[in-house]
Amino acid sequence: MQPSFSYCEVPPVSTATPFYQSLGNEEALFEQAWKHGMPVLIKGPTGCGKTRFVQYMAHRLGLPLYTVACHDDLSAADLVGRHLIGAQGTWWQDGPLTRAVREGGICYLDEVVEARQDTAVVLHPLADNRRELFLERTGETLQAPPGFMLVVSYNPGYQNLLKGMKPSTRQRFVALRFDYPPAAEEERIVANEAQVDAALAAQVVKLGQALRRLEQHDLEEVASTRLLIFAARMIKAGMAPREACLACLAEPLSDDPQTVAALMDVVDVHFT
């Protein structure tokens, strides 16, 4: 049986630094948390740059990065590791959390509240002054080296009574709140990521802000910076702006035809 986690290591130092538009003191706070062995919790809506920020900081600090996309079936064993059976017999395979602890890297749990509750039992000793990981199936207790850092994120808008981070877990973390950037910064992000000129970036961002003002109109999510980048890329590639906005903004935001039509009315105002 193959484990259900996935991980990726940070690119080599020789590769380009991932683009990140700083919006405040988040870089300094993250680095100080790392230097002092503190875990970090990042809260923010979908597509606002949480994952990109962690990738950027891993590259900046020169640390390997193990990213885990959490889901309903993600268990503590998926994070820690398990015994596997093959032609040569049985062997132990470390999970991404264990590898990050052994190597002194960053383990990033994206949308951590989606994981099963038993993962908290594993995270708690790593997220306090003990900084230990106990491997029950091998009997090992790993002491996290100075370079190790635990980072988790979630979207507060998705939280409910059944899926939320317990106070006993949340209070172990230094917390950062992310949101969609101000217009000027978002224009720079869209222009850089989509490789479009400033005029198109400004037009797309202005549309995105108008769509966000419709968040109370049966929309579970508003237009993210990520979706604005997608739309700008499509327009640059030669797709008609209305078609690009339909495919990259309106349809991803709603399954209801009437709501999609209402979103396209806003698009028509900005792209005539």
Residue 159: per-residue pLDDT: 57
Residue 169: per-residue pLDDT: 87
pLDDT per residue over 114-171, tens digit each? 888 888 889 999 999 999 999 988 888 999 999 999 999 998 876 554 567 788 888 9
**Cα 196 to Cα 41, 66, 95, 265, distances in angstroms:** 33, 31, 40, 24
Residue 139: per-residue pLDDT: 86
Q: pLDDT class for 2, splitting at 50, 70, 90?
A: very low
Statement: residue 9 has pLDDT above 80: no
Angle in degrees, CA 135, 141, 142, rounded to 5: 100
Residue 5: per-residue pLDDT: 37
The percentage of the chain sitting over the pLDDT mark of 90, rounded to a whole number, equals 67
* Calpha distance 240→218 (Å, rounded): 27
pLDDT per residue over 161-187, tens digit each? 456 778 888 899 999 999 999 999 999
Question: Is residue 100 within 8 Å of 93, Cβ to Cβ?
Answer: no
> Could you give phi then psi for residue 178, rounded to 5 degrees?
-105, 155
According to the CATH classification, is domain 26-177 in 3.40.50.300? yes
* Average pLDDT for the chain: 88
* Calpha distance 264→259 (Å, rounded): 9
pLDDT per residue over 42-55, tens digit each? 999 989 999 999 99
Q: What is the mean pLDDT of residues 65-71?
A: 93
Question: Is residue 41 within 8 Å of 86, Cβ to Cβ?
Answer: no
Q: What is the pTM of this model?
A: 0.85
AA letter at 77: A
The residue among 234 and 113 whose pLDDT is bigger is 234
Residue 215: per-residue pLDDT: 64
Q: What is the mean pLDDT of residues 239-252?
A: 96
Domain residue limits, the chain: 26-177, 183-270
Residue 216: per-residue pLDDT: 64
